[in-house]
Structures are given as C-alpha cells and as structure tokens.
Amino acid sequence: MVRKFVVLLAALLLAGAAFVAATWAPDKTVAELQPKWAPAPSRFLSVHGMQVHLRDEGPREDAEPIVMLHGTSSSLHTWDGWANELRTTRRVIRMDLPGFGLTGPDPTNNYSIGSYVRFVQAVLDSLGVTRAVLIGNSLGGQIAWNLALSDSARVAKLVLVDAAGFPVNATSVPIGFRLARSAVGGRLMRYILPRFIVASSVRNVFGDPAKVTPELIDRYYDLTLREGNRAAVVARFVQSSAPSAVDRLGELRVPTLIIWGEKDRLIAPVTAELFRQSIPGSRTVQFTALGHIPQEEDPVSTLRLLRPFLAEHATR
C-alpha cells in the first residue's frame, strides 16, 4: 500500500514538473517584441514615466482626430481593421494603455480610471490634440466616458463599444481574467502561462470562436508576456472595485453612439440600453452575431455603421 502511494505521488510530481516545464513563460522585453508588434508606423512617446507605444496616422489637418482606446489585456492592434480604413481620410490615434501591450506597467502602479483618464489627456497634450472623437472598447470605453465627463471640451463625439462602467452581469468570464482575480492564480500567472488559457480567453470574447486564428492568439499571448504586464493586470483587477461614476452619465452633452455585440458574455448586452437611457441623445447599434470586441471580430460590418456617425457635422 505504501509503495503504491509513493509511486502515485512520484507520478503526480513528475506530471506537475512536466506541466510547469511545458508552460513556463518568462517575461519578454520590449526589444524582443518590438520587431513583430511595433513596426512602422508605431512609435514610442514618453509620458508619465512610460514609453508609450502608439500609432498616429492620417492627415494632420484633421481638426478632430479619432482616438481609440482598447480594453483589458488588449492592445492598439484591436483597432487595426477600423484604423486601416479610416486613416485614408482621418487622423487616427491609438495607443497601448498602461499595463498592456508594449507600453507596459505604470511605474506608480495606479490603474484607477482617474489615472487612465489623466494618462490619455497627457498623451493628447503631447500630440497637440485639443479636441477629438473618442472611441473606447470595454475598459477603454469606461475611460472614454469618464474623460468626456472630466474634460468635455476635449471630446467632440463619443463612441462606446461594449463599454464598462455598469455592473457587468457576465454569463461567462474568460479563464485568464478569473485566474488574474484569484490570489493564487495571479501569482502563478507571473511565471507560467499555458497558451491554451490565452486561446480560451480570446475565444470567450468572440461571438463566433471559430474566427479566432492562431495568429490572433499569438498576438495576445506575446503581449501578455511583455515584462510587467501580468503583475499589472492583477493590480488592475484589484483596483477595479472602486465606485463607478455612472450616476453622472446624464451630465454628458456630447453626440454618443453605443455599439454592442449581442453575444457579449462578459458585459451583458442589456448594458447598452442602460448607457442609452443614461446619456442624453445617445443612440445604440447592436450586432446579433458579435461578441465583446465587435470592432476586431467584424471590422467591416461595424465600420459600415460607424461611418455615418463620424460624418455627421464633422469639423474638418
């Protein structure tokens, strides 16, 4: 009996060691990641002690540039489909937010919404942008509407894409988010990161998981490994329990379009109606087949309905 127990224990230890060896994932430096994920027109801008990865494309005479803000654990690449089309006629600015992409962690470890708002303001100040169309997905949407509340003169129009701020009422949370929120999982993720966890998490936020390609998983996986990002996302989740300012949404006086994927399992589609009811004069567009990041899942269809809103009373 003792011998069987010893054999079983040894087998379990070997299996555990093999799993750790197979999933051991050390941090990657920006220098390692930059050739693949930050070719031209990417550049880096010094803001708040960080080297911010951004892309600033399109005609400089555009009086109201389009500024795009991504969500948690994402990067500026989530906007590729929209940016590639819009940059032919509009100035398009997108950046990796602190804690994500190639920008990496905030040196002050502050991932509050207020800190993100001040960060975006500082980036726009550095670029000389005094007024812009602000577009945000998920966390980026929450940053966008908070910036519109605190700096209304800066925001010409607002586009909220599956935006955060109200209680999420999730029916399914990506496994990567669940691990980051747990004390043990968060610590383990700093050293090991099975690729299947990233793959599962990305598929979870698509309406049609079959659209998730190996190349897309590669991008999310690589940028999660950027040095400091895993600790940053854990800190972000810890700090995300702060009260939301949704009770002030009625103060907004900016043209607002709300875009939502009806297959969003992370932030329930009913949230789109909560935003519409809260923001005076806002309107909603929903896509029946899309999930939490509709601009990435189907950039063609979503952009087709975004363009008319952008064209309304545009200042050029």
Residue 316 maps to a domain:
no
Evaluate whether residue 203 is within a structural domain.
yes
Evaluate whether residue 11 is within a structural domain.
no
Distance between CA atoms of residues 40 and 60, nearest Å: 17
Q: What is the mean pLDDT of the chain?
A: 90
CATH of residue 82's domain is 3.40.50.1820
Q: What are phi and psi of 254, to 5 degrees?
A: -135, 135
**CA pair distance 135, 67, nearest whole angstrom:** 6
Is residue 212 included in any domain, yes or no? Answer: yes
Q: Is 154 part of a structural domain of the chain? A: yes
Residue 83 lies in domain: 30-311
Residue 21: inside a domain = no
Q: How many domains does the chain have?
A: 1
- Give the model confidence (pLDDT) of 115-148 as tens digits: 999 999 999 999 999 999 999 999 999 999 999 9
Q: Are 220 and 206 in contact (CB under 8 A)?
A: no
- For residue 40, tell me if it sits in a domain: yes
Q: Which of 5-9, 109-113, 133-137, 187-191 has the lowest mean pLDDT?
A: 5-9
Residue 185 counted as domain residue: yes
